[in-house]
A and B are shown apart, each in its own frame.
Chain A
């Protein structure tokens, strides 16, 4: 029995794969048109639920195996791709950090899938929701269990895309799609940091694998740059300052998705990444101090804003950000075990709260507590809190508006200059009036036309083509001379002269 359990860790690759397979199966059913009506909903929900349960069961078995066999550690399963000396591998790191968090996530995932089946009954995008949820669960497990940065990045991006798709779940509403875009773009900043650090890791450490990265003897300067990229990614994903505004806009999606993404799981991905990198962080006290400061500031910000929120989802999200900020403080102080515990407990608690949110009005009687007296008294602080410290607006003025202006200018340059110079299909003018179909536009087109005209002139003038070319004229001229010569030769006197000349030559 215990030997069998020992082998179960070799099946860990199934954990991210199962939800993905379920999502693909659901997608296939949608494509084949097999899920019309209420009856079509049951297999979809059942498939997703089974996959989530399968992941959970597998993880639980692996956890059980840990009891006898110890932590499985780094497991390499396959080479994804290899080029020259570095390679991307399918490897999983199963240790005291990833296994508990992954198991808890699988549990919450399974519960949310069950909850959603009833919650989304007869919604227009029922099947779409479950496809995206499968994608998310798969990505999240890949992120948590990944044994290297590459696989983590893959899961990270899958989660990001799933989050984008679910915030824009009600795509008919412009507000929803706008918010989805806002959240997605904010997250891209973090993704850029992650990608940057992965590139540096491949370049400096020669590998994406976590253990190799931890063992690499990098100079402190290099290490600082490396960790900074990861830290930016973590801050963006966990909605720490200055990235906080996106999370308030991300609540646009269906409630169960808000619960799992922003209440329970995805918001902790940044924390998880920092915990994963804690061996590196421990060497960099200055980065730790920065994390403490950012975490504390975010906590303060979220606390102030949370005091004045008037709708249930916003009232929940700011405390969430507050707690996550505290986790960053803990990580900065080096209390990683505390942060891990905090993460797990907070995830479980907040998932329950978010799932309960739609029923809140029925559960509570009485009015919600008013903002505290001191806040109401300080006019500036109160307004600032209500306006969420204008971070949203600041982002738009400082980043979005200049970008849009630059884009406008570049577009104008494109239209007025580059397109004209290069030429556009369908806009060309006829090269010659007798051949209206031969058209050219732009500099290359004009050059082509000029060159072709030149060659055609050569062709017509110089080559014998039966159009009175120069060569033909010369030949005619020569022919006339020859005819004259022949005429002369036919006359007896010249004939005799020729014969005599021949004799002279012979003699």
Chain B
């Protein structure tokens, strides 16, 4: 079943490649593939038993016996949440890609390949397989930014590629170290976890440093975030959705997996993780506050909100882990919504400056509504998924550090300042004679899907919490003594 899920988008991409290059047909096929993937994920959700075993639907085949690597797939609560998020966001990305200018065929192929690689990352139960899928996400993304991005796209794509590749090299070296150090010489996650836990602290710290650099570039954590603002600003809107919605979460997901392998290192580095998280939080929020460029603002706010995830993970307690996963989902939805709408707006007007959007509420109320909604959801307004997530993180971090967690409040305050500035600007009277086409039907459907998910999870987070709770509790149990 998991294999089917991982390779279904590849089949879809192959079909697209041989199908005639008519835009409408291509879009329909891609939509079908994305819908099927979502249905499959839905099936997984139904089959998954939150109270059951840690890893379910596990399947493993020897891949390279001499190296001890396996083609092993399996899901737990955290990976299922991420799978659902990826499937939903890919669907949204396909929906809003209708009528994307030029290169429809290549674009949809790449999009589906990217989906396949993301599914692979979230289901892999073997570190070598994880690494392969991790790198596999880079290739479609590089070409999508490079071929379809804005004016600065080549530089942005190269920048993105180099940064993440540089991070991956550290990750690879750390994995090889771990493989070498761990008894049993196997890449399978649970073998490595057992081996890693028994390692002496200095070695664990060394391995942790390598893995963390790899994940922190992806997340991103200040000061390794240099690729993000440029890539987000230049990427086409649907790619931004996946980039901020799913790709950033891969870093946090990897970190959660690493926590299982190197608990002693996480505990030793806990204070540093806190510092990095608070740094990301405030740095991102302040720079977002300073941008008048709408897309740049959203990009920097992403850094700030991923700082919340890191803060949750760094707390190393159940509430923190739960909050981190919830925030991954919540930010995935909110950032996707924001990038979606801002990208569509840019496609219409070719302007990104906030000053050009005075009176948007009068001109295109649906645009204005969804941007305002996305900004408020990103701040974590009660009733949105972000609120539940931030509350969990705040609770977890407070339990660990006390009032240091207040920095989260300051970052949210700054976030409210720039969010409300945008909303206030939209509500000003429109300049005379200006016109702007509002969201089309398919775009409204995509945005509403995201908004609905945000509200539902905000009002009724229990299903998600149950789904994730078992896995995070197991993870937190490793740190219970501290």
Contacts and interface: CB of A to CB of B under 8 A. Distances in A.
Q: Is this pair of chains taken from one and the same complex?
A: yes
Interface of A: 431, 435-438, 448-449, 451-453, 455-456, 459, 462-466, 471
B287 interface: yes
Given A437-B421, A437-B425, A465-B226, A459 B289 contact: no
Interface in B277-328: 283, 286-287, 289-292
Contacts of A459: 287
Given A453-B290, A466-B155, A466-B156, 20 more contacts: A437-B292, A437-B354, A437-B421, A438-B289, A438-B290, A438-B291, A448-B289, A448-B414, A449-B290, A451-B286, A455-B283, A455-B286, A455-B287, A456-B287, A464-B159, A464-B163, A464-B227, A465-B230, A466-B230, A471-B226
A465 B151 CA distance: 15
A456 B290 CA distance: 8
A141 B114 CA distance: 74
Contacts of B414: 448
Nearest to B421: A437
Contacts of B289: 438, 448, 452
A300 to B, nearest CB: 62
User: Quick one: which of A435, A437, A448, A455 has the most chain B CB within 10 A?
Assistant: A437
Contacts of A436: 355
Nearest to A435: B292
B287 A452 contact: yes
26 contacts: A431-B290, A435-B292, A437-B292, A437-B425, A438-B289, A438-B291, A438-B421, A448-B286, A451-B286, A452-B286, A452-B289, A452-B290, A453-B290, A455-B283, A455-B287, A456-B290, A463-B223, A463-B225, A464-B159, A464-B163, A464-B226, A465-B226, A465-B229, A466-B152, A466-B159, A466-B230
A294 B112 CA distance: 91
B395 to A, nearest CB: 23
B50 to A, nearest CB: 37
B290 to A, nearest CB: 4
Contacts of B226: 463-465, 471
Interface in B323-359: 354-355
A224 B159 CA distance: 80
Query: 8 nearest interchain CB pairs?
Result: A463-B226, A435-B292, A452-B290, A452-B286, A466-B155, A464-B226, A437-B354, A437-B292
Interface in B391-440: 414, 421, 425
A184 to B, nearest CB: 36
User: Quick one: which of A449, A451, A456, A459 has the most chain B CB within 10 A?
Assistant: A459
Contact of B355 (A437, A455, A471): A437
A17 B316 CA distance: 54
A89 to B, nearest CB: 33
A436 B286 CA distance: 17
B289 to A, nearest CB: 6
Nearest to A445: B417
A497 to B, nearest CB: 30
A452 B155 CA distance: 25
Contacts of B355: 436-437
A165 to B, nearest CB: 35
B416 to A, nearest CB: 12
Contacts of A452: 286-287, 289-290
B406 to A, nearest CB: 15
Contacts of B229: 465
A453 B425 CA distance: 22
Given A466-B155, A466-B159, A466-B230, A438 B292 contact: yes
Contacts of A437: 292, 354-355, 421, 425
B274 to A, nearest CB: 19
Nearest to B234: A466
Contacts of B159: 464-466
Contacts, number: 49
A154 B216 CA distance: 59
A466 B234 CA distance: 12
Interface string B439-467: 00000000000000000000000000000
Contacts of A464: 159, 163, 226-227
User: Quick one: which of B152, B226, B227, B229 has the most chain A CB within 10 A?
Assistant: B226
Contacts of B163: 464
A34 B60 CA distance: 75
A340 B46 CA distance: 76
Contacts of B287: 452, 455-456, 459
Interface in B96-154: 152
B99 to A, nearest CB: 30
Contacts of B290: 431, 435, 438, 449, 452-453, 455-456
A412 B382 CA distance: 37
Nearest to B285: A452
Contacts of B421: 437-438
A437 B163 CA distance: 32
Nearest to B292: A435
B428 to A, nearest CB: 11
A49 B359 CA distance: 56
A462 B287 CA distance: 15
Contacts of B291: 438
A339 to B, nearest CB: 55
Contacts of A448: 286, 289, 414
Contacts of B354: 437
Nearest to B354: A437
A486 to B, nearest CB: 19
A346 B156 CA distance: 91
Contacts of B225: 463
Nearest to A459: B287
A285 B291 CA distance: 74
Nearest to B224: A463
Contacts of A449: 290
Nearest to B152: A466
A65 to B, nearest CB: 51
Contacts of A431: 290
B429 to A, nearest CB: 16
Interface string B191-233: 0000000000000000000000000000000010111011000
B161 to A, nearest CB: 12
A453 B287 CA distance: 8
Interface in B131-189: 152, 155-156, 159, 163
User: Quick one: which of B152, B225, B292, B414 has the most chain A CB within 10 A?
Assistant: B292
A438 B421 CA distance: 8
A465 B292 CA distance: 18
Nearest to A467: B230
B361 to A, nearest CB: 16
Contacts of A466: 152, 155-156, 159, 230
Nearest to B156: A466
Nearest to B286: A452
Contacts of B230: 465-466
A140 B307 CA distance: 58
A465 B291 CA distance: 15
Interface in B253-291: 283, 286-287, 289-291
A464 B160 CA distance: 10
Contacts of A438: 289-292, 421
A436 B229 CA distance: 21
A456 to B, nearest CB: 6
A55 B354 CA distance: 65
Contacts of A462: 223
Contacts of A451: 286
B287 to A, nearest CB: 6
A471 B355 CA distance: 32
A501 B291 CA distance: 55
B301 to A, nearest CB: 13
A71 to B, nearest CB: 51
Nearest to B227: A464
A219 to B, nearest CB: 41
A126 B290 CA distance: 58
Nearest to B225: A463
A449 B414 CA distance: 11
